[in-house]
């Protein structure tokens, strides 16, 4: 098994986060009421089980130009894709025939 396969093994969830809205994390502990996850940066996050969303870790590796191509249309995955595209200076993203533009607060030669 590769290191990536070992790290991705197990259950992964989206949990609410105060500044990032949602973060993805590997489940460390889970009960009927709460869940504790470890994000990719090693931080531990706790949340209510009802506020968390199941996810496939492989969906974090894939950034799409058109959000209709996402594995599922959940708010956490959409926000993650938009954030990662913005970090790559891709400020335009499609949702079918709809265009989303995120203001970079700087001039681009378009």
Report which secondary-structure segment, H or E, holds 75. helix 75-87
Q: Which residues pair with 66 in a beta bridge?
A: 94
Q: Could you give the 3-state DSSP secondary structure of residue 77?
A: helix
Q: Write down the pLDDT at residue 66.
A: 94
How does pLDDT run across 43-72, given as a tens digit for each residue?
999 999 999 989 888 888 889 999 999 888
In percent, how much of the chain has pLDDT > 70? 91
1: pLDDT confidence band, cut at 50, 70 and 90? very low
């Amino acid at each position: 098994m590769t290191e990536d396969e070992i790290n991705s093994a197990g259950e992964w969830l989206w949990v609410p986060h105060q500044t990032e809205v949602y973060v993805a994390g590997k489940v460390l502990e889970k009960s009927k009421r709460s869940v504790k996850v470890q994000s990719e940066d090693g931080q531990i996050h706790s949340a209510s089980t009802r506020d968390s969303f199941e996810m496939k870790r492989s969906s974090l590796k894939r950034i799409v130009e058109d959000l209709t191509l996402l594995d599922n249309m959940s708010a956490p995955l959409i926000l993650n894709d938009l954030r990662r595209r913005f970090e790559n200076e891709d400020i335009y993203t499609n949702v079918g025939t709809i265009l989303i533009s995120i203001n970079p607060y700087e001039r681009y030669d378009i």
